[in-house]
Chain A
Amino acid sequence: MNCRDAENTLSAYLDGQLSEVERKPLEEHLEQCENCRRALEELTLIRDALRSLPEVEMPEGLHGRIMAAVRAHAREIKQDASECAGEAGNLRFDASKAGTDSPSRQKVGFFRRIVNRMSNMSARQWIPLTAAAMVLVMLLSVSGTLFLTEGGFGLNRAAKMTEQPGSPGFAASPETPSGYDGFGGLKAAAPPLADEAEGVGMLTSGSRTVAVAERKFIKRAQVAVEVSRGKIRETAEQAEGIVATNFGYIEQSSMSGNADKEMTSYYMVARVPSESVDKTVDELSALGRVTKRDSSIQDITDQYVDLDARLRNKINQENRLLEIMGEAKTVGELLQVEGEISRVRGEIESMQAQLNNNDKLTSLASVSFSATEEGSNPKPPSPWSDVWRVFVQAWRNLLLFAAQVAPSLIVLAALFLGGAWLVRRRARKTV
């Protein structure tokens, strides 16, 4: 054992606090080392001097001061207690014993106690509190970031996901019927079809020269069904099959899904021969629970007749021009007539194209069909849903705020703590 080790254990040795194992080598060392022996002697002297310090007498008046403070406090407690008793209307409460009611003591301003406690806290005590606050802010920001990116994914996923079957004749629809907003709401089951309501009224008004049998109609039909979960693809195939068996074709179709990438809705527009519209609609309606079914007829007889008459006029005009051309005397006259004929011919052709188109429209009806899976439609909004949505939105904004503010807060807190630490250290050194 060297002197340094020995010296460090001298006080404990002196106080009899060393174990047998520790004492032995020290005593051996003391046998040999005069310096350490002397140190032990001096320490003993010092300790004995300290032990023999006389007790100082109480200064006069201190006892009185102590008791004055204590009694003043005791009276306060009593008053509090009796006030409590008064408020509670407890008539049996004995005011003289009020001070003995210890729970009433607890009533001495909870908030005030916290404020007092905080103002008495030293910087060292503030550190864990500050650290806890920082951890809280970080947690908040981390969860906020997660929440927000999750939300962001949700938004992205909710964007339209149309599926385009590879077969020819399918075209992507720019107005896919079902897209989701941020909260999973289905926007629209199907786009409204143009001019739905007008057709029937014209049946009576526009018949001047044409018999009803020859009237020209454009037929439109719309069917929406709900199918059970997971059946959407099957339903789509069946619907396409129905169109095919009725000698129609599909103009456009799309399938869309929800945020979980499952297809939940299907939409198509098909052209079927006018005479098989009703049959097609019936068959499509059988695919699921019908939520919407309507059909409309647009009477284009007037347009048709008008166009037909104008076409005939033009043909007559052309014939006359041809006759005139035969009577032409000069080359100038001939050229003039020829120019006129070709202009009339153009008009005739354009009119015929229009007529053909009308023929097509009237011979092929438009059938739109949409199918959705059960439960993928949101429930009718309850009055609480708005409240909830606003709450979620507010919370989301709050988290966003926290996430954005957190880094600067952390830096500020670090600077602040560092500064406080430096100040304290300097204060300590100067004392």
Chain B
Amino acid sequence: MALLDEQVLIEKASEGDADAFEILVERYEKGVYNLAYRLIPDRDDAMDITQEVFLKAFQALPKFRGDSRFSTWLHRVCVNACLDFLRRKQRTQTYSLDEPINLKESSVVREVRDDSGSVEDVIETKSLTETVLMALNSVDEAHRTVIVLSDIRGYSYQEIADMLGISIGTVKSRLHRGRMTIRKLLPAEQIASPVVKSDERRDRR
């Protein structure tokens, strides 16, 4: 029933019915905003992108043929918008290293990524979830996108591959390498199993 309902709403919305579209917006805006926020950890940017995604979706709705779920389609539009945004930003903007990163709960000083895992100095007092999130944000966008879609949004490898237009093998390797990067960035105490001492772990690679 819900599916049929959604189909009717999509049909109406694709004919320009904003009221029908509003129901769809209500249903999916949180997911889209979260996806955008995880890909671009900036509240204002994520808001801009969420708005842009729904406007684009509304314009492009007549072209939506229903060969994937509406939410998947919406998320694909969102991912593309985010990647576009990052690309644009990369080209035009430079960061001040002192500019704080806005996290949900607090602001932290932006980290310059370097392979020695210096994140731990800043975030040693945080919970594992927070440090993982911190580390995630310093993973580069290609790997972050896959991690966000897989682990946070719960998409299957196949769905991610379709969404990003890459092969399943690429999804696999990006996901793995992304996770390994996070692992390397995390402070030893937080994830080390009791058996292993931290300096031993350091020598792993």
Contact = CB atoms under 8 A, between A and B. Distances in A.
B177 to A, nearest CB: 9
Given A15-B157, A70-B25, A49 B18 contact: no
Interface in A296-325: none
Contacts of A15: 150, 157, 175
Contacts of B50: 62, 66
Contacts of B118: none
A50 B176 CA distance: 14
Contacts of A100: 15-17
A45 B128 contact: yes
Interface in A39-77: 39, 41-43, 45-47, 49-53, 55-59, 62-63, 65-67, 69-71, 73-74, 77
B191 to A, nearest CB: 5
B176 A12 contact: yes
B15 A70 contact: no
A59 B34 CA distance: 10
Nearest to A67: B22
A10 interface: yes
Nearest to A108: B59
Given A11-B179, A70-B54, A427 B26 contact: no
Given A45-B128, A50-B136, A66 B176 contact: no
Interface in B4-53: 14-18, 21-22, 25-26, 29-30, 33-34, 37-38, 43, 47, 50-51
Given A35-B204, A43-B179, A46-B191, A63 B17 contact: no
A140 B136 CA distance: 52
Contact of A50 (B14, B152, B204): B152
Contacts of A66: 25, 29, 50-51, 54-55
Interface centre among B84, B87, B151 (most CB of A within 10 A): B151
Nearest to A3: B204
B96 interface: no
A43 B183 CA distance: 7
A62 B49 CA distance: 11
A63 B30 CA distance: 9
A34 B15 CA distance: 60
A138 B157 CA distance: 43
A38 to B, nearest CB: 6
B29 A63 contact: yes
Contacts of A17: 157, 172
B16 A47 contact: no
B62 interface: yes
Contacts of A10: 176
Given A11-B172, A46-B186, A78-B16, A41 B193 contact: yes
Contacts of B193: 38, 41-42
B132 interface: yes
Interface string A414-430: 00000000000001100
B129 interface: yes
Chain A interface category by residue count: 35 or more
B41 to A, nearest CB: 10
A99 interface: yes
A321 to B, nearest CB: 115
B16 A56 contact: no
Contacts, number: 132
B182 interface: yes
A102 interface: yes
Given A38-B193, A99-B15, A58 B30 contact: yes
B49 to A, nearest CB: 11
Prevailing SS type, chain B contact patch: helix
B119 interface: no
Contact of B33 (A42, A62, A71, A74): A62
Contacts of A35: 204
A207 to B, nearest CB: 103
A164 B5 CA distance: 95
Interface in B171-205: 172-173, 175-176, 179-180, 182-183, 186, 191-193, 195-196, 201, 204
A130 B128 CA distance: 49
A85 to B, nearest CB: 14
A431 B136 CA distance: 17
B133 interface: yes
A12 B58 CA distance: 36
B32 to A, nearest CB: 9
A100 B62 CA distance: 11
A34 to B, nearest CB: 8
Contacts of A43: 179-180, 183
Interface string B117-152: 000000000001100110010000000000100111
A70 B151 contact: no
Contacts of B30: 55, 57-58
A12 B172 contact: yes
Nearest to B62: A102
A10 B172 CA distance: 10
A65 B51 contact: yes
Contacts of B151: 47, 50-51
Given A66-B54, A69-B54, 10 more contacts: A11-B176, A12-B176, A49-B132, A59-B33, A62-B51, A65-B47, A70-B22, A70-B54, A70-B58, A74-B17
16 contacts: A8-B176, A12-B172, A12-B176, A17-B157, A17-B172, A46-B183, A50-B132, A50-B136, A62-B29, A66-B29, A67-B18, A70-B55, A99-B17, A100-B17, A105-B16, A427-B90
